[in-house]
Amino acid sequence: MASTDRKSHDQKRKEKLAKRAERLADQRDIRPYSGTKYQQEKWIPQVYETELAVYETILASGQTLTNEQVRQGFIQLIKQLRDGVPAALPDDAPKIVFSSGHEIDFLNWNIRRHWRMLFNDKGPVAMDDLVGILRTLLHSIQARGWHTGPSLGYVAFLQEFMQGGLY
């Protein structure tokens, strides 16, 4: 006989709320940074390489990448950095080819690839500063929601900026 789910409506609701609270708690300590530290001129190369990786992912996706995918990618990368994963992609790391459904994996691989090239050229950057840059870009995602709507605001802004439409 097949077992039936004998949980009450209230029990199911409590389970759903507990799962939601767990997911939110997982992201709670990663807040967008609205300060200006990483907007200073000395951080331009690091921010540029990070956003260039995002822009390349936008193009690889056929311009279907969303703010939410970028946000999730930044949060995932922040967690990895805090867990001790090296920021720069190792030289012998296999190449990831963009594929639908794996946008976040490709995005984070591409950011780490760009960071490797940056570190080879300019020297390493502290993990806390890379997290600060990503948190600043998380704030940009929130702030750019007005541009073309919350699903594409930052993505559309970055695409226009990289194509030379915004200065």
Instruction: Please report, rounded to a whole number, the percentage of residues in the chain having pLDDT higher than 90.
Output: 66
Sign of CA dihedral 4, 7, 9, 14: negative
> What value does the mean pLDDT take over residues 27-54?
90
Instruction: State which residues form the domain around 85.
Output: 39-162
Res 41 pLDDT > 70: yes
SS (H, E, C) 15-62: HHHHHHHHHHHHHHCCCCCCCCHHHCHHHHHHHHHHHHHHHHHHHHCC
Least confident of 6-20, 21-35, 59-73, 110-124: 21-35
The residue type found at 116 is R
Q: How many domains does the chain have?
A: 1
Q: For residue 9, is it within any domain?
A: no
Q: For residue 16, is it within any domain?
A: no
Q: For residue 149, is it within any domain?
A: yes
Q: What is the pLDDT of residue 25?
A: 52
> What value does the mean pLDDT take over residues 78-85?
96
Q: For residue 2, is it within any domain?
A: no
Res 136 pLDDT > 80: yes
pTM for this model (two decimals): 0.79
Q: What is the pLDDT of residue 147?
A: 55
**pLDDT band at 152; cut points 50, 70, 90:** confident
